[in-house]
Amino acid sequence: MYLGLDLGTSEIKAVAIDASGTVIASAGESLEVQRPHPHWAEQDPADWWRATQTVVARLRAKMPQQWPQICSLGLSGQMHGAVLLNRDNQVLRPAILWNDTRSAEQCRQLTLSAPELHEVAGNLAMPGFTAPKLLWVARHEPEIFKQVATVLLPKDYLRWMMSGDKVSDMSDAAGTLWLDVARRDWSDSLLAACGLTRDHMPRLVEGSEASGVLKGDIARAWGLGDNVTIAGGGGDNAASAVGIGAVNPGDAFISLGTSGVLFAVNDRFSPNPQSAVHAFCHALPERWHQMSVMLTAASALRWFCQLVGSNETTLLAEIAQMNKAEQRLAPIFLPYLSGERTPHNDPLATGAFHGLTHSHQRAAMGYAVLEGVAFGIADGLDVLSQAGTHLTQCSLIGGGARSEHWAQLIADVLNLPIVTHQGGEAGGALGAARLGWLAAGGAVAQVCHKPTIEKHFLPDGERQPMLTARLAMYRQLYQQQLALRPA
């Protein structure tokens, strides 16, 4: 048996799989994000550990007979977050998360001070990445920065709590802007640009390699045996790719979680930072991937449901009753509630509804939210195409994949066949469990098979003219927002 733990932004998930790759049980525990100031997003790492203990106990209770058979585990997690430890391994401040945009000025600073950044890290400096966060701490919290002895990514903080080892994997480390992504090693020059050295960094392993073992006292408290292997694991999207079987060049998926991701596998490092495309290491050796990332996806639907006092199931049912004429007259929604990455790299971008009238009910606005997210994914597909990545089909995973209406809308907007998979909502947790299996000796061909396709969604050609016109308006509205922004 193999355990996977996925530390998301809004939830920590756990799954257990058996030696055939079948999911035996799953569990989750929700998490909250603190926003003490505009553009800030933080979490207390202690809350992650408490949630981990809770979710492990819940999973154990669901499978009491099989639970002691777990021999290895893998970790997946939200990328880019900065957990700062002092020399006594005490957390110095709340973790600054991936969707925190306070460090825009530090991005400009890093770009100027490290001219090799784009070539070595393969990415633009964006507020979501880890390196600008440390520059922000150095500038605004210098007493804390002086005490920093170790910088860990979120999932790697859990690893340290479980094993006492400070280790990261290539895919997660690639999201720091401190990794030489082609060489799969820390870059001394990029670290120096932030006042750091290798001594501040965890040891690096591949995601499918063993990083250590579960400490004896944790293993006993969890009801597990000695020598439970902990895999290197992966950043959430790379781990999700392993879970969905996207491990070979040409494989691709869309993830509709808190953020929205279009992920394509490459056999070489293929950066295109000018279009805000991410180029990272995959969680498996000798593989890389390109990503377009939008900062607000399924979280936009949750936000809107809270505003109108509904729930997602009810609102989605109302949206599904709309006809094409009602969809054509729906407002246009810009989903930039947390700024945007691909293709704009604009932390100051904001969300908006355009074209509201008295006749619009919440279903029309809800449809606009789904459509706006699909349009953001279309922007990402465009820049991936410009970077030489051409897709013929795409898997859809994450919480948003539960909506067939949304899946069909994405197929129509992208003009691309979309497939969903059995267990696709498990995402990073399933991939983490598979990485645990690989670290225990499993073979990639056996472990990383594609899950059974649940449904196909083919593009509806009749909707193309309407959606094309609305996509053009969506793009124009962002340009107008830029023009109206104070200098």
Q: Confirm if 471 and 323 have CB atoms less than 8 A apart.
A: no
Examine residue 432 and state whether it is found in any structural domain, yes or no. no
Mean pLDDT for the chain overall: 94
Q: How confident is the model at residue 102 (pLDDT cuts 50, 70, 90)?
A: very high
397-402: average pLDDT: 85
**Residues facing 256 on adjacent strands:** 260
Taking only the tens place, the pLDDT of each residue in 229-249 is 999 999 999 999 999 999 998
pLDDT band at 389 (very low <50, low <70, confident <90, very high): confident
**421 lies in some domain:** no
Residue 424: pLDDT band by 50, 70, 90 thresholds?
low
Q: With cut-offs at 50, 70 and 90, classify the pLDDT of residue 290.
A: very high
For residue 422, the model assigns a pLDDT of 79
- Average confidence (pLDDT) over 339-345: 89
Residue 217 belongs to some domain of the structure: yes
* 13: in domain: yes
| pTM for the whole structure | 0.87
Residues 145-157: tens digit of each pLDDT: 999 999 999 999 9
Least confident of 32-36, 389-393, 469-473: 389-393
Question: pLDDT higher for 457 or 398?
Answer: 457
List, for residues 35-76, the tens digit of each pLDDT value: 999 889 999 999 999 999 999 999 999 999 999 999 999 999
Neighbours of 483 (CB within 10 A): 7
Interatomic CA distance for residues 151 and 130, integer angstroms: 9
- Token output for 149: 């002895």
Tell me if 73 is assigned to some domain: yes
Average pLDDT over residues 354-382: 97
pLDDT for the residue 427:
76
* Active site (annotated) includes residue 236: yes
Q: What is the CATH number of the domain that holds 99?
A: 3.30.420.40
Examine residue 353 and state whether it is found in any structural domain, yes or no: no
Q: Which residues are annotated as a binding site?
A: 79-80
Residue 386 has a pLDDT of: 85
The band of 219, judged by pLDDT with boundaries at 50, 70 and 90, is very high
pLDDT over threshold 90, residue 478: yes
In three-state form (DSSP H/G/I as H, E/B as E, the rest C), the secondary structure along the chain is CEEEEEECCCEEEEEEECCCCCEEEEEEEECCCECCCCCCCEECHHHHHHHHHHHHHHHHHHCCCCHHHCCEEEEEECCCCEEEECCCCCECCCEECCCCCCCHHHHHHHHHHCCCHHHHHCCCCCCCCHHHHHHHHHHHCHHHHHHCCEEECHHHHHHHHHHCCCEEEHHHHCCCCCEECCCCEECHHHHHCCCCCHHHCCEEECCCCEEEECCHHHHHHHCCCCCCEEECCEEHHHHHHHHHCCCCCCCEEEEECCCEEEEEEECCCCCCHHHCCEEEECCCCCCEEEEEEECCCHHHHHHHHHHHCCCHHHHHHHHHCCCHHHHHCCCEEECCECEECCCCCECCCCCEEECCCCCCCHHHHHHHHHHHHHHHHHHHHHHHHHCCCCCCCEEEECHHHHCHHHHHHHHHHHCCCEEEECCHHHHHHHHHHHHHHHHCCCCHHHHCCCCCEEEEECCCHHHHHHHHHHHHHHHHHHHHHHHHCCC
pLDDT band of residue 266 (cuts 50, 70, 90) is confident
Does any domain span residue 125?
yes
In a domain, 95, yes or no: yes
User: CA torsion sign, 108 to 109 to 112 to 115?
Assistant: negative
pLDDT in tens, 169-218: 999 999 999 999 999 999 999 999 999 999 999 999 999 999 999 999 99
Looking at the structure of the chain, the number of domains it has is 1
pLDDT-based confidence at 257, cuts 50/70/90? Answer: confident
Give the residues across from 112 on adjacent strands: none
Q: pLDDT for 314-326, tens place per residue?
A: 999 999 999 999 9
Containing domain of residue 124, as a range? 2-244
Tell me the binding residues for substrate: 79-80
Given 172, 180, 236, 379, the catalytic residue: 236
